[in-house]
Copies of this chain bind each other. A is one copy, B any other.
C-alpha cells in the first residue's frame, strides 16, 4: 500500500525539523582536545590583556619629560640603571634621566611613561645612552586591556574552536573548555540489494555505500555516527534494530526503503513507532521522497532515500542542521552565488539541487555539474563542492545565469540560508 505523499517546500520542511531540536548537552574537554569542537557557552575574559602595561619592542623605558630638549644637535644623556627581561618586574622606581633596558613584552617599570626603540638610541657604553629625539608621553606602551578588557566575550557560544580561539582560551587560562556534546546518530541501511564494504559483489547487488557516506556527513556536522549495519527490505529486522537502538541515540537515520515502490518501509517504521510524520515528500530533486518523523520521546527519525545523491542531499538539508543546532552552531550550509557554466534547458516543477564543482575564474565563481547529473551517480558526489540550486518552475536555466549555491565543505555554517534563498 503506497501512502499518499504531499510535497512541501524545502524551507517549510527545514522549519518543521528545526521545531524539534535535540537536547543541547555540554561537556568539558581539555584545551588540547578542544580543536574542532564547538563552544557551548559565551566565554568571557577573566582579566584584561595585556594584564599590565608592557613594551611592544626591545628598547629603553624612560620618563618622556626628560627628552623635552633632545635633538640631533643636543642629545640627552640617560643613565642605564638596569634591565627588565621578559617576565621580570623591575623593583625600584625610575628617576630623572634614568633609563631601563626593556625586552619586548616586559612590564613598564614604575616612573616611566614611554619606551624608545633600541634602534633609535646611541649606546655610549654599558651604562649610558644618548637620546637624540623627543619621545612623547605614552609612546610605545601597550596598555592594560588594550587587546581585551576584562569581561569581554572572547568566544561566543556556537563558535567552532579553531587555532585563533585556542590562543584566546590559553591566554585566559581556560584549561578545560565547556563544549557542546556531540549528538549520537544511529545509521541503518535497508535494502536487499546491499552487501557490505568488505564483501564481494554478486550479480544484482551493490555495496552499502550510503551508510558510510552518511557516517562521514555526521562527522562533518559534528556528530558521532553509530553504524547499525544493513538489513534486507523487511519491516521485522528493521524494527528490531530500531527498537533496540533508538534510546541509545539522539537521532536515527535510515537510508533506503523509501521509494514509491512496493518495499516502502519508512511509513511502516513511522507507524510502528507511533511517531508523528513531519513530512514525507519535499518539492526537490533529488531527494523528494525524504521523510522526517518525531517520536513520542522527542527523537527525530530521518528516512533518507537509498539513492546516493538523494541520500546525500536529504542529509545535508535536514539532518545536518538539527545536529549542528544541538551544538549551538550555525545550522545550515552557507549560501553563496555562482554563475552557471552550462545550460539546464529542461524545466522542473521541483527545486533542483545539482551536485556541482566551483571554479574560480577572474574573480567569478563558475559552477558546473560534477560528473553525471543522475541521482544515482556516486562519482558526482566525490567531486562536488557545492550544490547548485535551481528553483522549480516552468523555465530552464542558461549558461551565464546567476544562481545560488550551497557550499559543502565549509567548516562554518549559516543561520539563514533558506530564508535568503526563498526570498531572493
Contacts and interface: CB of A to CB of B under 8 A. Distances in A.
Given A35-B219, A259-B103, A372 B233 contact: no
B52 A204 contact: yes
A383 B52 contact: no
Contact of A213 (B88, B163, B371, B382): B163
Contacts of A350: none
Q: Which of A206, A220, A227 has the most CB of B within 10 A?
A: A206
Contact of A147 (B104, B146, B372): B372
Given A174-B197, A192-B87, A204-B87, A308 B167 contact: yes
Contacts of A222: none
A170 B379 contact: no
Contacts of A216: 35, 161-163, 166
A284 to B, nearest CB: 18
Nearest to A59: B261
Contacts of A28: none
A277 interface: no
B378 A213 contact: no
Interface residues of A, number: 104
Contact of A168 (B87, B148, B152, B382): B382
A127 to B, nearest CB: 15
Contacts of A35: 215-216, 219-220
Contacts of A371: 147
Interface in A25-75: 31-32, 35-36, 47, 49-52, 56, 58
B203 A167 contact: no
A105 B192 contact: no
B192 A147 contact: no
Identical copies in the complex? 2
Interface in A93-130: 103-107, 118
B173 A376 contact: no
B382 A155 contact: yes
Q: Which of A50, A225, A383 has the most CB of B within 10 A?
A: A383
A247 interface: no
Contact of A212 (B32, B148, B355): B32
Interface SS majority for chain A: loop
Given A175-B198, A194-B87, A206-B171, A166 B213 contact: yes
Interface string A358-387: 001001000000011010111101111100
A165 interface: yes
A206 to B, nearest CB: 7
Contact of A87 (B173, B193, B215, B261): B193
Nearest to A256: B86
A147 B213 contact: no
Contacts of A197: 31, 169-170, 173-175
Interface of A: 31-32, 35-36, 47, 49-52, 56, 58, 85-89, 103-107, 118, 142, 146-148, 152, 154-155, 161-175, 191-194, 197-201, 203-217, 219-220, 225, 227, 232-233, 259-263, 306-308, 312, 336-337, 355, 360, 363, 371-372, 374, 376-379, 381-385, 408-409, 411-412
Given A35-B220, A58-B262, A167-B210, 20 more contacts: A35-B215, A35-B216, A58-B259, A86-B193, A87-B193, A88-B193, A89-B203, A103-B263, A104-B259, A105-B376, A142-B374, A163-B312, A163-B381, A164-B382, A167-B209, A169-B197, A173-B197, A173-B201, A175-B198, A409-B411
